[in-house]
Amino acid sequence: MVVVNDAPPGHAVVEPDGVTVVRTAGSQGFARAVNAGLAAACALGATHVLLLNDDARPQPGCVAALVAAWSERSGAVGPVLLDPAGAVESAGISVASWGRVRTVKRLPAQTAPVDALSGACLLLRAEERLDESFTHGFEDIELCQRIRAQGRTVCIVPTARCQHLGGATLSRRSASAQRHAVSGHLRLLRRRRFVPVVVGLATAQVLREGGPAARLSGIAAGVADWWGA
């Protein structure tokens, strides 16, 4: 087991005994922290890794089901994510050609290919790395796109379940999270013509969820971050 400690400098973190702890400089972000953990796993001789967020808890049998679903053609396999109430949060991620990215709620009857999977709980090869140009969000989708472009499969395993608190690292309703989501969405799509689509989708989401209004400034900041990158 490898635990990555990306806590901000000065924050005390309890480190479990009997595991390899990787300390970052602090607040490096999801992609860099995960890559540090993957590198440490490779150094320990691992060929495959179960990437697990600190707010995700696999249910009994989850890991065994993911391992059983792995094949020679696999690039990544993931479980169905459940919210704290036990409802389906994500059974994969769909990426439309016109730019919309949404979570899939409908469960397949058996292991099935999807466009992408959440990095909250993900079985993949230890040699994989996330794109560190993403700040917080969409880096897992970009990784899945690269895996699929290489001819390997990205699949959801309906018999595997993992509870996901969601937003524990950064509140989804904060202006900062909105900023990172917009910049990450645009970085994923890579075309300036998608800016109106991303802004429209983000604004509609903020209005649908009832704000707060500060998230609207986060949308503008996210566009500025990506445009100036």
pLDDT tens readout for residues 149-179: 999 999 999 999 999 997 666 777 899 999 9
| pTM for the structure as a whole | 0.92
Residue 66: closest CA among 111, 30, 29: 111
Tell me what pLDDT residue 17 has. Answer: 84
Tell me what pLDDT residue 167 has. Answer: 65
CA angle 46, 50, 55 (to 5 degrees): 140
3-class SS of residue 99: coil
Tell me what pLDDT residue 101 has. Answer: 96
Given 3.90.1300.10, 3.90.550.60, 3.90.1150.10, 3.20.20.140, which CATH number is that of 2-164? 3.90.550.60
Tell me what pLDDT residue 172 has. Answer: 79
pLDDT digits (tens, 9 = 90+) for 200-227: 999 999 999 999 999 999 999 999 999 9
Separation between Cα atoms, residue 229 and residue 226, nearest integer Å: 5
Beta pairing partners, 82: 88, 163
Looking at the chain, which residues constitute the CATH 3.90.550.60 domain(s)?
2-164
161: enclosing H helix or E strand: strand 153-164
User: What is the per-residue burial (b if ≥16 Cβ within 10 Å, else e) of 180-209?
Assistant: bbbbbbbbbbeeeebbebbbebbeeebeee
User: What is the per-residue burial (b if ≥16 Cβ within 10 Å, else e) of 94-113?
Assistant: ebeeebebeebeeebeebee
Q: Which residues contact 85 (CB under 8 A, 6 or more apart)?
A: none
Place of tokens 């699949």: 155
In this prediction, the residues of the chain whose per-residue pLDDT falls under 70 are 167-169
